Amino acid sequence: MVAVLAISLVVAPSPARAQRKAAVAAAPAAWRPFTALFDSAAHSDSVVGAAILLMRDGRVVAHHEYGWADRARGQRVTERTIFHYGSITKQLTAISIMQLRDRGKLTLDDRVTSYIPELRQVHDPYGSMDSITIHMLMSHSAGFQNPTWPYKQGVSWEPFEPTTWSQLVAMMPYQELYFKPGSRYSYSNPGFIYLGRIISELTDDPWETYVQKNILSPLGLTRSYFNTTPYYLADDRSANYTVMHDSATGHEHVQDNGREFDPGITIPNGGWNAPLADLATYLAFLTDAAHGDTALEHRYGIVLSRSSLAEMWHPLYVTTPDSASHPEWMGMSFFVLPRGTSTLIGHTGSQAGFLAFMYFNPATKAAVVAAFNTNDDAAPDGKPTAFETIRQAALNLIE
């Protein structure tokens, strides 16, 4: 059953009947067949729970929820369900860096080793680690390899992610740059941990505290948090699941990973938890949808100017050099997707069993954000997953 309604960008009571009717009228004709595809793809990929919302000019015009937030407890996915957004968190780190740049605390051309001298322990066959700049970390062009973490064997002693800064530093002498810094793109999770470290060094605030003060609070993201769920939000937290292949039986099963996990030192690269409504509020900021509210417009400008945001959306490095159709580019922590006459901006996220994507069209202020609580580790190579099928269809809604 597809539920469609309009909501304000700040969490508010349920809208009146007239508002609901207006939302139905505003939802595009493609929404109903899209939600049918959403449910079919999710079911075929054993997704336990998922949700998506569609926006126009900062307002939610349609949303859809599927399945269970916590199957063992019999809790359905609702508008209040809290998901984890993985690497979408990198945008918060990058915006924080741009804030500090605009406030004269750093420049994007600063050497990273000026803030993190430990990085000189990494082997650089192309010269000196001193050549890596903040801009290179922001654009995933510093030369670090992808994938990042080797902890995927499933043994009991493995961490989910490195848990402390000292562990990350201890790994540095056993790493080597993959290519000459600044020459091309390679996605790097540690790069954003290093950016988070710079933020803390400059502000004397832990990364989480700085982001709370300078992004979450001024934008009114009241149900966003990092790491362990606050007690008052615990009932809304989704569990997360992994579809596994049983080599003994040849069958697939869905493993319940529970609700909480420890991202450790990696929170600046992937630690954001929130309901979709908070992501909608964030997207209203990105699309400058203040609707004449001068106080809100002022807060948007305090968080980051439009010119600095546009700077972050400038394509710098192609991420899909072999793609004949729909090439993708990296800006500064935002992916840039030219599609026909449109250019879409956004990011995906994947951590533990959670998956998410978020995209917007700066020209039309259309936007979409989705979250899934199930990751399919059993999908054969080359087979489109539900996540990718739904992502591609969702992009069509905002072109």
Please give the tally of structural domains in the chain.
Answer: 1
2-11, 120-129, 205-214: least confidently modelled range? 2-11
From the list 332, 224, 324, the residue with the least C-alpha distance to 275 is 224
Task: Check pLDDT > 80 for residue 242.
Answer: yes
Q: Read off the pLDDT of residues 308-321 as tens digits, 9 standing for 90 and up.
A: 999 999 999 999 87
Q: Which residues contact 54 (CB under 8 A, 6 or more apart)?
A: 27, 28, 31, 60, 61, 62, 63, 366, 367, 368, 397, 398
Q: What local confidence, expressed as pLDDT, does residue 155 receive? A: 66
327-344: pLDDT as tens digits? 899 999 999 999 888 999
Task: Give me Rg for the CA atoms of the chain.
Answer: 21
**What does pTM read for this prediction?**
0.89
Region 360-384 average pLDDT: 89
Q: Is 210 helix (H, G, I), strand (E, B) or coil?
A: helix
Stretch 146-152: mean pLDDT: 61
294-321: average pLDDT: 95
Q: Assign 146 a pLDDT band (cuts: 50, 70, 90).
A: confident
Grade residue 151 by pLDDT with cuts at 50, 70 and 90. low
The predicted pLDDT at position 283 comes to: 98
As a whole number, the mean pLDDT across the chain is 89
Indicate the pLDDT class of residue 296, thresholds 50, 70 and 90: very high
Each residue's pLDDT tens digit, 164-189: 899 889 888 888 899 999 999 999 99
Residue 176's DSSP bridge partners are 123
Q: In what order do the strands lie in the sheet with 252-256?
A: 252-256, 241-245, 374-376
Domain of 3 in residue numbering reads as 1-399
Q: Could you tell me which residues come within 8 angstroms of residue 205 by beta carbon, excluding any fewer than 6 positions away? A: 199, 213
- Give per-residue pLDDT as tens, 27-63: 789 999 999 999 999 999 999 999 999 999 999 999 9
Residue 79, CA atoms < 13 Å, CB-side half-sphere: 19
Query: For position 309, what pLDDT does the model report?
Result: 98
Compute the distance between CA of residue 83 and CA of residue 62 in angstroms, rounded to an integer: 18
CATH number of the domain to which 206 belongs = 3.40.710.10
Going by pLDDT thresholds of 50, 70 and 90, the confidence category of residue 384 is confident
Tell me the residue type at 324: A
